[in-house]
Structure 1
Amino acid sequence: MQYLLLFLTTLASAITLDVTSQSDVKSVASTIAYDMMTVYTGNQSGQVPGLLPGGLNCNPNNVGTYCWWEAGAMFGALINYWQYTGDTTYNQVTSQAIEFQRGADDNFNPANQSRSMGVDDQGFWAFTAMDAVEANFPEAGGNAPSWLSLAQAVYNFQQDLWDTDTCGGGFRWQVFSINAGYNLKNAVSNGGNFQLAARLAYVTGNSSYADWANKVYDWMAQSKLMQQDAQSGILYIWDNTDANNNCTDQTNYVWTYNYGIMLGGAAYMYNYTNGSDVWLNRVNEILNSTYSLFFPAEYGGNIMSELQCESTLVCNEDQKSFKAYLARWMAVTALLVPSTAATIVPKLAASAQGAAGQCDGGSTGRACGLQWYTSTWDGTSGVGQQMSALSIIGSTLNRQSIAPLSQASGATSKSNPDAGSTAAKDPTTEHAPITTGDKAGAAILTIIVVFLVVGGAIWLVI
């Protein structure tokens, strides 16, 4: 009888979703958000705001440990959740996390992460700041910098990281040469900077951001990171290329988040340019390739799937969250490029229905798994799966009234184009260089100390 009751309780806890009912979608999103936030302890006494378990020393191959960047992405998802549903439950904890992790230079390079900083890691926290800007998320207030200035500070910091010494340009994956992976120029770092610049152009109307976005996109398009297959027409956005080989080869992995990042950036540029055919063609090229790769016909053609790792359940903790970002930026694209909505909306709806069907596992009977194309829970659970389900289900509440705001259309976050521009680029340069005067002063102080010590010793003897 005890086991029967447990079985019936589990069945009762499983999530069901009617995507045509706003109230049902909001209720399901609330449940998924709650379960996701049970993992977060950063707002508790003695914990670090903004970090998930493992955030100080993460290894994405260890189940249940989450890197710093993914926490930043999670708070972006919570801003989206508030925007979709109007639920303010997580607003305060989100503001606290962003403020704590912004770092001394207000550019999301905090001391507890700076030595292992990746360009992409900073980028995802900057995306969250831009989510706040575009949604008029309540500012932190007091002496805290504005959401917009935080994103601008990241942009300014990364400007000096553009590397023309190899491969004719591009961003390396890692900020500092001491870190493994510094040799790689990868799609998420370059694409992330491209999208950040595009969003800053869209929000502020400043053409210098748009010029930079064009520069980064053009470099990526002529590099090994973006290659179109002549036969199928699919645009492959490869994971990375090696600067040690002057970027003459690439790692042939494709991920949903790289397509989402590039799609979103292109959509912002399309809107910023008032409907440029160049950017419309790029949007459609990326979008159609996204459909071909990540909405496979074997699952009906409308269910999103992580091609490289999902079917075999070998995704690491980073990769389990990737679909969240594609879902979000497909939804944004449908608003910024209205001609795409006819194909995007059915895919978001079908994937949302599938994601809800995967939320029937774990001890609660409603933990969300990865494989949205089956209603049998795949046995996985965690922040990435919850965030992905939350983002895709929330996207069905997408509507023109919550399209990203710009300063021209009502965004109120204050701009500071010079934010973070004086930040040190090297974590080892925490102090000013030692000058001749410093050395002379040190010598004088040393002599004085010697006289004091000797004099004291003589006094003791006497």
Structure 2
Amino acid sequence: MRLFATQKGTRWAAIPLVLSGLVSLSQAISLDVNDESSIKAAAKIAAEGLVDYYHGNEPGQIQGNLPQPYYWWECGAMFGALIDYWYYTGDDQFNQIVIDGMLHQVGTDNAFMPPNQTQSLGNDDQAFWGIAAMMAAERGFPNPPGSSPQWLALAQAVFNSQAVRWDSDTCNGGLRWQIFSFNNGYDYKNTISNGCFFHLAARLARYTGNQTYADWAEKSYKWSHAVGLISKDYKFYDGATVATNCTSMDPIQWTYNGGIYLAGAAFMYNITNGTGFWADELGAILEAQKVYFKDEKVMYEVACEPYGKCNVDQRSFKAYLARWMGVTTQVAAFTREKIMAWMAQSAAGAAGNCIGGTNKQTCGGRWTPDVSAKWDGNFGVGEQMSALEIFQNLLAPNYRPPCTAGDCGNSTGDPNAGTGNSIQSGRTNRPATTGDKVGAGFLTTLCLGLLIGGTYWLVI
């Protein structure tokens, strides 16, 4: 079956979604992975279940915050999922809570650094909000009121505020995990913070055409390889301490680390017309993602899921790999066959696990055949968002790629946004002032001691 998607009045050519042989499921969330209407119906159920956890739009609540035990960054991640939900389904019922919540959390210098998050504000936390703003610009999401900061400018503000934190004094470069020196984790350089910075730079480069972003993306990516966050065989490790000058690497692997670099490389591949360095890197990264697919079929969180040890944050990680695989198929067509085979089987498994709760539509977190067609007993924002992302990104190859300023993009930017922020590796520095240059999350809840020395999940 061939699907066709309509966006702003234009029909876009489509490709067959998945390999043949997959059948529809008949659980509470019924899903035919080859049928567009079935996919959208499943995504709607998952999205409505996700938003049930959000109360920021209710009287007396804080817009842009999820209730405990969820950290601030995950609400930004959720808004990113809902932006794509609108894009793929046309259902705008959640748009206003996204707009209101994101604008409420822009914080200092419109760089998503709200003062009430200082005690746990990491570069990765901030970046997840910046990436959501970037997605809004690329997807043509409804713009904020004219008196408010605009999506592109918000993404630029995050990038600019992080570029001045590039720390060459330790490990020959890179971003630290935490922004402020008084926070635990400040002495750790982790893969997700640096991956988010690379990813955002790549997307800004493609959207704006500004070479400075592309230069930063390449610099960050090559540093990640050189320091060992990315191994020679393209394993994406967790991070390393500055005390060892990043020579002692924690080799734990998370889905979202592979995904953030996969999509970033795909955007760079697209910018360079699919040739040379980025073609080779993207192919190698894609092949390495098979570690996150049990028997190379169904996505799972290899470091914790088989042992029932995933914490609140980690239960959402599969959502981001699904999201970033989806957008990868849009900007790098050669990845589609492999990615969509993985996505289809994973989505079928996820639908089979969305039979929990009193409504029999609550999604669990385990999609592999040993728990498919039954609820694993887990539930929450992470489980629900992961199901939503794996469902809606089945549609990705058949929808228009993210906009650029030269085609369908209409978000107003500001290359100097965020340069008033003076936090550089926890120290006060003079802000950048060059107007035509742009170079100036999240709290993982793992105890830093465990990250550094205790628990090594060796994934082969």
Q: Deviations over 1:345-374 (max 9, x none)?
A: 111111111110010112221111111012
2:184 alignment counterpart: 180
User: Residue 151 of structure 2 aligns with which residue?
Assistant: 147
Point out the structure with the larger helix share. 1
**Structure 1 segment 67-216 matched on structure 2, within 5 A:** 67-216=71-220
2:330, 2:399 within 8 Å by CA — same for their partners in 1? Answer: no
Counterpart-to-counterpart distance in 2, 1:32 and 1:333: 22
Name the CA shift for 1:427/1:50 in 2 (closer, same or farther; >3 Å). Answer: farther
Greater relative contact order: 1 or 2 (C-alpha under 8 angstroms, separation 6 or more)?
Answer: 2
Matched, 1:372 2:367: yes
Q: Flag structure 2 segments of 5+ consecutive residues without an equivalent.
A: 1-25, 431-460
Match of 2:346 among 348, 351, 357: 351
Q: Which amino acid in the other structure matches residue 357 of structure 1?
A: G
Native 8 Å contact 1:13 1:364 kept in 2: no
Identify the residue that residue 270 of structure 1 maps to in structure 2. Answer: 269
Counterpart pick for 1:424 among 405, 422, 425: 422
What's the counterpart of residue 387 of structure 1?
A: 385
Aligned letter for 2:62?
A: V
SS of 1:226's equivalent? coil
How far apart, in 2, do the equivalents of 1:36 and 1:98 lie? 17
Q: Residue in 2 aligned with 1:304?
A: 299
Q: Please give the per-residue CA displacement for 1:204-245, whole angstroms capped at 9, x wherever unaligned.
A: 0000000000110111011121112xxxxx421100111011
Q: Which amino acid aligns with 1:383?
A: V
> Structure 2: which amino acid aligns with 1:393?
F
Letter in 2 for 1:76: G
Q: Deviation digits for residues 366-422 of structure 1, max 9, x if unmatched?
A: 111111012221110000000000000001122343311111221110121001111
Is the 8 Å Cα contact of residues 176 and 425 (structure 2) preserved in structure 1?
no
For 1:234-383, list aligned pairs within 5 A.
Answer: 234-291=233-290, 293-297=291-295, 301-373=296-368, 374-383=372-381
Aligned-residue offset at 1:145: 1.0
Q: Which letter does structure 1 place at the counterpart of 2:285?
A: I
1:452 corresponds to:
none
Q: In the alignment, does 2:67 pair up with 1:37?
A: no
Which deviates the most, 309-318 or 192-201?
309-318
Output the CA distance in 1 between the equivalents of 2:302 and 2:35.
Answer: 30
What CA distance in whole angstroms lies between the structure 1 residues aligned with 2:219 and 2:227?
12
State how 1:403-442 maps to structure 2 within 5 Å. Answer: 403-425=401-423
1:27 and 2:41 correspond: yes
Distance (whole Å) between structure 2 residues aligned to residue 378 and residue 428 of structure 1: 42
Distance in 2, matches of 1:52 and 1:101, equals: 12
Which amino acid in the other structure matches residue 327 of structure 1? A
Percent identical? 46
Partner deviation per Cα, 1:281-308 (whole Å, 9 max, x = no partner):
11111111101x11121xxx22111101
Match of 2:61 in 1: 47
Q: Distance in 1 between matches of 2:92 and 2:362?
A: 23
Separation of aligned partners in 1, 2:408 and 2:82: 21
The unaligned stretches of length 5 or more in structure 1 are: 1-11, 55-64, 229-233, 433-462
Task: Work out the CA distance in 2 between the residues paired with 1:45 and 1:428.
Answer: 36
The worse-fitting range, judged by mean Cα deviation, of 350-359 and 367-376 is 367-376
Residue 428 of structure 1 and its aligned partner are, at CA, apart by 9.7
CA distance in 2, matches of 1:154, 1:287: 27
Code of the residue aligned with 2:253 in structure 1: it is: V
What is the CA–CA distance in structure 2 between the aligned matches of 1:224 and 1:330, rounded to whole Å?
23
Q: Is the 8 A contact 1:130 1:148 kept in 2?
A: yes
Query: What TM-score do you get using the length of structure 1 for normalisation?
Result: 0.84
Shift of 1:276: 2.6
The 3 A distance-change label for structure 1 pair 172 and 275 is same
Q: Secondary structure at the match of 1:218?
A: helix
Say how many residue pairs are matched: 402
The 1:69/1:32 distance shift into structure 2, 3 A limit, reads same
Q: What SS class does the counterpart of residue 108 from structure 1 fall into? A: coil
C-alpha offsets along residues 3-51 of structure 1, whole Å, 9 cap, x if unaligned? Answer: xxxxxxxxx9822211122111111111111111111100001100000
State whether residues 27 and 351 of structure 2, in contact with CA within 8 Å, keep that contact through their aligned partners in structure 1: no
Match of 1:437 in 2: none
- State the match for 1:446 in structure 2: none
Q: Deviations along 1:63-103, whole A, 9 cap, x unmatched?
A: xx111111100000000100110000100000001000011
Which amino acid in 2 is paired with 1:326?
L
* Residue matched to 2:440: none
Shift of 1:53: 0.6
Query: What TM-score comes out, normalization by structure 2 length?
Result: 0.85
Measure the CA separation in 2 of the matches of 1:107 and 1:185.
21
